[in-house]
């Protein structure tokens, strides 16, 4: 039924469905997943719709296997994604680390619920923010995007697929239960309005090909299985050919490459959305569903002539450091609102270096933070 | 022999510096040789083969092979291979795993890959121990045998990988040894050509780690033990249960037909696209 409605028309869509449709719009070929609340609708939607486009959907035996299958499919040339929630995200971590190390384009959607452990399957939380950055062992840099509306679920999933392909890295989309299950009126872009990025393929003959070539872009062209390049992929620290190494220089080169491909491209990766910031003297820093309440709180504050604006990072990781350093100099106060005990606020404080006042407002009882709560906090700390 | 070596060399990666990580006397090289000769005999192109492994001694095999090779995380080779196979069903996907990798940490993926009947050829090198980490007891360490973590004897029962695969839905199950190399090559050939999930368990001697811990002698002694205790399934039919008591069966133990997963999924695509009425 949904298919018969043209995309430019207004739709009433759930965040999870918008995420799935975004992935399809970005050219998804492969989805592997395991049922988990509150993300299951993404798998259900793709089980039904992905094969229509010739794509493959598979329900694996657990989340460990799901992430593994996504990586395998990507190496065989598919644009691949999985979706999960906290406990599944924890299980995926080892293989997410593999995807960082082996530089495999892949997208992991985490529709967050309360934790730790089984926690609150049907309640909202933003407590996986740090796990998205540091979830797996070792040194690496993460790309993590956080939408706050149904339309943003669509747009940022498209962007996550594109960034994964462009930088040969896993990309995390941090949604949350409210966002995943909320239905909102949206207009989706036409296919020709959507920019789709495909991975950079090698043009050299197979005997010259290095699967992990070190070059000035820090991103290597990526051949796929079955096309004559016959490369090796391993989770062991490896040389540019993909063979395990224990040589200090090759180890350092590899780890530098993983860092540099993100750090040297922050200007391309980082996106921050501003609202009411032109004349703002203070700001609320919020992402995900907390940003929705923050926006309403700002409207309330503006009626009381409080000059407050909204800083909403679409890119949680890499953290918008340069932008926030600049904001720390410009603003009198930044209120960080999160649905956890305080995670990204530590990054705000780190980049602030004491330049301005940082205040925080946290809720972690399974309920969404209300505009009233934020408004009262704002009046108290401004 | 010289001819056989030449065949092997054609399938090795010249850019990779030998020697291999395997100990002298190890059985894994014998299995590797059998796989290469099977691929050569079947005239499969190197590009058509994806060799996927987990972690452990046997899982180091792909890095030396001039195929599309994927050395994954511990126990997860079959799950990675599932992604490779489903995304590119035209590839021959061969999974190299061990008894610890495939049946302990990877046990869940093993039974579910077999149940799903996805077209993956699994070569499980059973050396009865975790050799790479120094000889801890594995799901295939026999009762009463020793491991560094079973210094007073193993009190757990061991898996029969072939029974497990059969019970989980594999359509082709075979067992070979590192002593019977010609038979092993034939079994690998049959397994590769089988549509669906196939398992070849290889009874693989490990003289350096398992052999020492259990006073089983040199590699030659361990292979002689295989010679004396392996009974082909055909011969076993003529033997009394009494005589078979301390023996193990080799050959094709199970061979049935069932629709392969990726082929079935192509039908799902046709149904979803409305080309076939539900």
Tens-place pLDDT, residues A286-319: 999 999 999 999 999 999 999 999 999 999 999 9
Q: Are the Cβ atoms of A68 and B272 closer than 8 angstroms?
A: no
Question: Is A249 contained in some domain?
Answer: no
Same domain? A52 vs A146: yes
Contact A286, A294 (CB under 8 A): yes
Residues of B in contact with A77 (CB under 8 A): 87-88
Q: Which two tokens stand for residue A347?
A: 């990054």
Q: Are the Cβ atoms of A68 and B76 closer than 8 angstroms?
A: yes
Contact B210, B131 (CB under 8 A): yes
Q: Which two tokens stand for residue A109?
A: 């959607």
The confidence score (pLDDT) of residue B97 equals 98
Under an 8 Å CB criterion, which residues of B touch A?
13, 15-16, 46-48, 50, 52, 62-63, 66-73, 76, 79-88, 90-91, 108-109, 112, 265, 268-269, 271-273
Contact B104, B139 (CB under 8 A): yes
CATH value at residue A35: 3.40.50.970
Residues of A in contact with B48 (CB under 8 A): 226
Q: Are the Cβ atoms of A65 and B269 closer than 8 angstroms?
A: no
Hey, which residues does A176 pair with through a beta bridge? A112
C-alpha distances (whole Å) from A65 to each of A59, A96, B66 are 9, 11, 26
Q: Are the Cβ atoms of B269 and A68 closer than 8 angstroms?
A: no
The confidence score (pLDDT) of residue A63 equals 98
Contact A355, A348 (CB under 8 A): no
Q: Which two tokens stand for residue B82?
A: 């599932």
Residues of B in contact with A73 (CB under 8 A): 83-84, 86-87
Pairwise CA distance, residues A235 & A100, whole Å = 9
Strands (E), chain B: 49-53, 68-71, 92-98, 120-126, 129-130, 136-137, 172-177, 198-203, 230-232, 248-255
Which of B11, B54, B64, B87 has the most A C-beta neighbours within 10 Å, making it the best mutation to test the interface with A? B87
Total tally of structural domains belonging to chain A: 2
> What is the number of residues in chain B?
278
Closest CA to B177 of B138, B237, B127: B127
Closest CA to A103 of A288, A208, A258: A258
CA distance B115 to chain A (A): 11
Hey, which residues does A130 pair with through a beta bridge? none
The confidence score (pLDDT) of residue A3 equals 53
Question: Is A12 contained in some domain?
Answer: yes
Q: Does ipTM top 0.95?
A: yes
Centre a 10 Å sphere on the Cβ of residue A9 and count the other Cβ atoms it contains.
8
Pairwise CA distance, residues A257 & A168, whole Å = 12
Q: In what order do the strands lie in the sheet with B92-98?
A: A232-234, B68-71, B49-53, B92-98, B120-126, B198-203, B172-177, B248-255, B230-232
> What is the number of residues in chain A?
382
Same domain? A305 vs A161: no
Q: Are the Cβ atoms of B68 and A230 closer than 8 angstroms?
A: yes
Question: Is A203 contained in some domain?
Answer: no
Residue A4: pLDDT above 60?
no
Same domain? A184 vs A51: yes
Pairwise CA distance, residues A118 & A66, whole Å = 19
Q: Are the Cβ atoms of B271 and A244 closer than 8 angstroms?
A: no
Confidence of residue A6 (pLDDT cuts 50, 70, 90): low
Q: Are the Cβ atoms of B88 and A225 closer than 8 angstroms?
A: yes
CA distance B112 to chain A (A): 7
**B107-120: b (≥16 Cβ within 10 Å) or e:** bbbbbbbbebbbbb
Residue A358: pLDDT above 80?
yes
Same domain? A167 vs A301: no
Closest CA to B251 of B200, B194, B178: B200
CA distance A78 to chain B (A): 6
Q: Is B57 helix (H, G, I), strand (E, B) or coil?
A: coil
Quick check: bond before B19 cis, omega within 30? Answer: yes
**What is the rounded average pLDDT of the residues B239-243?**
95
Confidence of residue A270 (pLDDT cuts 50, 70, 90): very high
Q: Are the Cβ atoms of A225 and B68 closer than 8 angstroms?
A: yes
* Structure-token match 């060799």, residue found: B51
Q: Which residue of A has its CA nearest to B111?
A: A61
Candidates A73, A75, A98; nearest CB to B73: A98
Question: Is A245 contained in some domain?
Answer: no
Q: Are the Cβ atoms of B16 and A243 closer than 8 angstroms?
A: yes
According to DSSP, the β-strands at B129-130 and B230-232 are unpaired
User: Would the CA dihedral through B10, B11, B16, B22 be positive or negative?
Assistant: negative
Same domain? A151 vs A44: yes
Q: Which residue of B has its CA nearest to A77?
A: B87
A21 is in which domain, residue-wise? 2-193
The confidence score (pLDDT) of residue A250 equals 97
Pick the last residue of a domain from A193, A212, A234. A193
Q: Tell me: domain B2-13+22-272, CATH 3.40.50.970, correct?
A: yes
Pairwise CA distance, residues A73 & A22, whole Å = 19
Q: Are the Cβ atoms of A72 and B73 closer than 8 angstroms?
A: no
Same domain? A180 vs A43: yes
Same domain? A58 vs A176: yes
Q: Are the Cβ atoms of A65 and B271 closer than 8 angstroms?
A: no
Contact A94, A84 (CB under 8 A): no
* Half-sphere exposure for B35 (CA within 13 Å, toward CB): 33
Q: Is B112 helix (H, G, I), strand (E, B) or coil?
A: helix
CA distance B55 to chain A (A): 10
**What is the rounded average pLDDT of the residues A227-239?**
97
Q: Are the Cβ atoms of B69 and A230 closer than 8 angstroms?
A: yes
Phi-psi region of B169 (alpha: psi -120 to 50; beta: other; left: phi over 0): left
Residue A1: pLDDT above 60?
no
Question: Is A149 contained in some domain?
Answer: yes
Q: What is the mean pLDDT of chain B?
A: 96
Tens-place pLDDT, residues B38-83: 999 999 999 999 999 999 999 999 999 999 999 999 999 999 999 9
Residues of B in contact with A51 (CB under 8 A): 265, 268-269, 271-273
Say how many Å lie between the first and final Cα of chain B, rounded: 57
Quick check: bond before A318 cis, omega within 30? Answer: yes
Q: Which two tokens stand for residue A170?
A: 């896993």
Q: Which residue of A has its CA nearest to B14?
A: A207
Contact A198, A27 (CB under 8 A): yes
Hey, which residues does B100 pair with through a beta bridge? none
User: Would the CA dihedral through A8, A270, A214, A259 be positive or negative?
Assistant: negative
Residue B250: pLDDT above 90?
yes
What DSSP element (H or E) covers B108? Answer: helix B107-116
Q: Are the Cβ atoms of B69 and A232 closer than 8 angstroms?
A: yes
CA distance B209 to chain A (A): 23
3-class secondary structure for chain A? CHHHCCCCCEEEEEHHHHHHHHHHHCCCCEEEECCCCCCHHHHHHHHHHHHHHCCEEEECCCHHHHHHHHHHHHHCCCCEEEEECHHHHHHHHHHHHHHHHHCCCEEEEEEECECCCCCECCCCCCCCHHHHHHCCCCCCCCEEECCCCHHHHHHHHHHHHHHHHHHCCEEEEEEEHHHHHCEEEEECCCHHHCCCCCCCCCCCCHHHCCCCCCCCCCCCCCCCCCCCCCCEEECCCECCCCCECCCHHHHHHHHHHHHHHHHCCHHHHCCEEEECCCCCCEEEEECCHHHHHHHHHHHHHHHCCCCEEEEEECEEECCCHHHHHHHHHHCCEEEEEECCCCCHHHHHHHHHCCCCEEEEEECCCCCCCCHHHHHHHHHHHC
Pick the last residue of a domain from A148, A170, A193. A193
Q: What is the mean pLDDT of chain A?
A: 96
CA distance B49 to chain A (A): 8
Which of B84, B93, B265 has the most A C-beta neighbours within 10 Å, making it the best mutation to test the interface with A? B84
Residues of A in contact with B46 (CB under 8 A): 230
CA distance A60 to chain B (A): 8
Residue A133: pLDDT above 70?
yes
Same domain? A68 vs A168: yes
Tens-place pLDDT, residues B158-206: 999 999 999 999 999 999 999 999 999 999 999 999 999 999 999 999 9
* Half-sphere exposure for B130 (CA within 13 Å, toward CB): 20
Q: How many CB pairs below 8 A link A and B?
A: 140
Question: Is A248 contained in some domain?
Answer: no
Closest CA to A19 of A64, A62, A72, A82: A82
Candidates A73, A231, A233; nearest CB to B86: A73
Confidence of residue B277 (pLDDT cuts 50, 70, 90): low
CATH value at residue A321: 3.40.50.920
Pick the last residue of a domain from A148, A176, A193. A193
According to DSSP, the β-strands at A333-338 and A357-362 are parallel
Q: Are the Cβ atoms of A70 and B86 closer than 8 angstroms?
A: no
CA distance B21 to chain A (A): 11
Q: Which region among A7-11, A46-50, A136-140, A147-151 has the lowest average model confidence (pLDDT)?
A: A7-11
The confidence score (pLDDT) of residue A9 equals 82
Contact A97, A140 (CB under 8 A): yes
């Amino acid at each position: 039924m949904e298919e018969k409605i043209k995309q430019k028309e207004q739709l009433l869509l759930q965040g999870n469905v918008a995420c799935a449709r975004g992935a399809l719009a970005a050219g998804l070929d492969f989805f592997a997943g395991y049922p988990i609340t509150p993300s299951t609708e993404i798998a259900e939607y793709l089980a039904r719709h992905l094969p229509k486009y010739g794509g493959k959907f598979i329900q694996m035996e657990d989340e460990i296997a799901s992430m593994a299958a996504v990586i395998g499919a990507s190496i065989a040339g598919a644009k691949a994604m999985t979706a999960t929630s906290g406990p599944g995200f924890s299980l995926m971590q080892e293989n997410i680390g593999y995807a960082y190390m082996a530089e495999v384009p892949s997208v992991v959607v985490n529709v967050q619920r309360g934790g730790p452990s089984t926690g609150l399957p049907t309640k909202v939380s933003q407590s996986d923010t740090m796990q998205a950055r540091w979830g797996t062992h070792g040194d690496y840099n993460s790309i993590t995007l956080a939408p706050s509306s149904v339309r943003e679920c669509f747009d940022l999933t498209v962007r996550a697929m594109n960034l994964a392909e462009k930088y040969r890295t896993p990309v995390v989309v941090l949604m949350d239960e409210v966002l995943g299950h909320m239905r909102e009126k949206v207009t989706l872009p036409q296919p020709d309005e959507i920019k789709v990025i495909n991975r950079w393929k090698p043009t050299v003959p197979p005997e010259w090909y290095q699967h992990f070539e070190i070059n000035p872009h820090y991103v290597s062209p990526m051949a796929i299985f079955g096309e004559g390049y016959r490369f090796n992929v391993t989770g062991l620290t490896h040389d540019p050919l993909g063979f395990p190494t224990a040589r200090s220089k090759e180890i350092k080169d590899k780890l530098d490459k993983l860092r540099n491909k993100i750090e040297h491209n922050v200007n391309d990766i980082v996106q921050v959305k501003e609202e009411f910031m032109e004349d703002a003297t203070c700001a609320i820093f919020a992402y995900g569903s907390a940003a929705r309440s923050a926006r309403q709180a700002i409207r309330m504050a503006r009626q009381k002539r409080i000059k407050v604006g909204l800083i909403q990072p679409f890119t949680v990781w890499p953290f918008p450091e340069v932008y926030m350093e600049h904001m720390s100099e410009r603003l009198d106060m930044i209120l960080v609102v999160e649905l956890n005990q305080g995670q990204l606020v530590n990054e705000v404080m780190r980049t602030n270096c004491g330049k301005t006042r940082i205040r925080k407002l946290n809720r972690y009882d399974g309920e969404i933070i209300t505009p009233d709560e934020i408004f009262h906090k704002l009046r108290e700390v401004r | 022999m010289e001819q056989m070596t030449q065949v092997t060399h054609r399938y090795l990666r010249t850019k990779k510096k030998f020697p291999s990580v395997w100990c002298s006397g190890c059985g894994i090289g014998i299995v590797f040789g059998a796989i290469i000769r099977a691929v050569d005999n079947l005239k499969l192109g190197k590009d058509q083969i994806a060799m996927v492994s987990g972690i452990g001694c046997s899982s180091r095999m792909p890095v030396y092979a001039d195929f599309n090779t994927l050395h994954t995380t511990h126990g997860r080779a079959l799950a990675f291979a599932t992604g490779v196979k489903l995304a590119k069903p035209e590839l021959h996907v061969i999974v190299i795993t061990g008894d610890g990798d495939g049946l302990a940490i990877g046990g869940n993926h093993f039974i579910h890959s077999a149940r799903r009947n996805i077209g993956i050829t699994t070569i499980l090198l059973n050396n009865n121990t975790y050799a790479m980490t120094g000889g801890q007891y594995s799901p295939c360490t026999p009762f009463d045998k020793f491991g560094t973590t079973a210094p007073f004897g193993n009190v757990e029962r061991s898996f029969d990988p072939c029974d497990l695969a059969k019970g989980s839905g594999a359509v082709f199950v075979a067992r070979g040894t590192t002593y019977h190399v010609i038979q092993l090559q034939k079994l690998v050939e049959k397994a590769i050509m089988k549509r669906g999930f196939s398992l070849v368990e290889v009874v693989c001697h490990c003289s350096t780690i398992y052999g020492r811990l259990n006073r089983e002698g040199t590699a030659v002694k361990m292979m002689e033990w295989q010679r004396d205790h392996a009974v082909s399934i055909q011969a076993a039919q003529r033997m009394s249960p009494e005589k078979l008591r301390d023996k193990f069966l080799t050959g094709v133990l199970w061979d049935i037909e069932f629709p392969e997963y990726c082929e079935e999924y192509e039908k799902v695509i046709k149904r979803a696209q409305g080309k076939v009425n539900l």
